[in-house]
Structure 1
């Protein structure tokens, strides 16, 4: 078994927009939240390669519960330490109008 230690888990949120311009109001077309963090991403790859992996680390609040739910749905074992406070979120803005 491989133990993946994820000390800084997050909810990675991809916001899809069109014609993003800083300083103006931009309407989000879609939000895709996923459980993230380096340790979780490594565990996900190991799991896809049929390796036995268990994820641990520190999580808290609504975000921590969301991460646990995501891992349950992916059938990935975990044993997190629950802390006071909220697990972080990271935001990526994807501009559909951009060719980049």
Structure 2
């Protein structure tokens, strides 16, 4: 697991230090970005497995509670007020 982390970090460093490679620059950036997402995902899972289940569930319940509070503050509107007036635009065109 640690070796994969080091390998993926070197892949990222290659884009920063501009080593010469046969791939197109945008292609290389897309590949390295994908690998970085995978690396971070692996380490997030790795960290979660070593935490106790209680702390993980507590954190998830806090996130769920925060989400419900955020959603509860919004209301449904039939119309959204716009920052401009359509009537003024028609008068200017005539």
- Under TM normalisation by the shorter chain, which class is it? under 0.3
Could you state the TM-score of these two structures normalised by the residue count of structure 1? 0.19
Q: Going by fraction, where is helix more abundant, 1 or 2?
A: 2
Structure showing greater radius of gyration is: 2
Q: Tell me: higher relative CO, structure 1 or 2? Use CA pairs within 8 A at least 6 residues apart.
A: 1
